Amino acid sequence: MEFSQDLCQLYHLCVGFNQDPCNEDDFKFIYEYDDDFTTFPTISVLALKVCLTKMFETPGLPQFNIMSLLHGEQIVEVSNPIPPGSPVRCIAVMEDLADKGKGMLMTVRIDLKNPENLDEMYSRCYMKFYVRGLGGFGDKGILDQKIPDPPAREPDQTFEAPTDERLALFYRLCGDVNPLHIVPSAAQLAGFEKPILHGLCTYGILGRAVYETYCEGDVSLIKNISVRFVSHVYPGETIKVDMFKEGDSILFSATTLERKAVISTGVVDLKPQAKI
């Protein structure tokens, strides 16, 4: 997969970097001539296209309608930054299938590596999807990757991230072209009032919230980012992120200011140098 320079810049703008166009601290993500030009760790989720291919090519897996698919959790474990403008070898494995009664939890692991040196890992993604209607086969799976709940206390920090009403139109250009995010009738068929924001765009925004609050501009401090998707975001809403510091980890809960709906919970694990 090609992580072209333009794709990397588009992704970073979509998840909210350089909302202030004069903020040179963010130039490392959006300006190709910056001395520290790099990528933000959540960009690894653009390997979703490889994940979808693996889903539909796995032997023995029943066919299903992609509209019955819900993205339940997303984990990115960071090893090295993906160089902007470089090809990446994406190796997808169907890691686990677990019976959840009325549906099935499907976990696809994707290793993103340097194609010229497969010993160099950029990141490892775990994409967890709930597939409605494919449960009842009895196997509870083998993975135990529990994302901790945030504590029941006042947050240590709060971050607000406004989103543009056209954000889903821009983010789909990163490769996720599900009509749910652009066609009103498709969104209504799925039970939404109107097209919703991509969950993986929200994922990047949540990662940025923790980065801007705790990392003092040093993206290398992020070890991994784990998010559980609880509900949806409509483009144009403001995402409020309540953060709780627990050792070297930042637990969080995210809501929409407009509807007061909890949309995600999760945790970002940081290296000890981070400002926590």
Residues noted as catalytic: 176, 181, 196, 199
Residue that the structure tokens 């969080």 belong to: 252
DSSP reduced 3-state for 234: coil
239: nearest Cα among 130, 162, 157: 162
> Nearest 5°: phi and psi at 23?
-80, 100
Which phi-psi region, left, alpha or beta, contains residue 151 (left: φ > 0; alpha: ψ -120 to 50)?
beta
Longest dimension (CA), the chain: 55
Which amino acid belongs to residue 14? C
Which of the 8 DSSP states describes residue 101? S
275 touches 268 (CB < 8 A): no
Where b means 16+ CB within 10 Å and e means fewer, 8-28 reads bbebbbbbbbbeeeeeeebbb
Q: Which DSSP string corresponds to 246-265?
A: ETTEEEEEEEETTT--EEEE
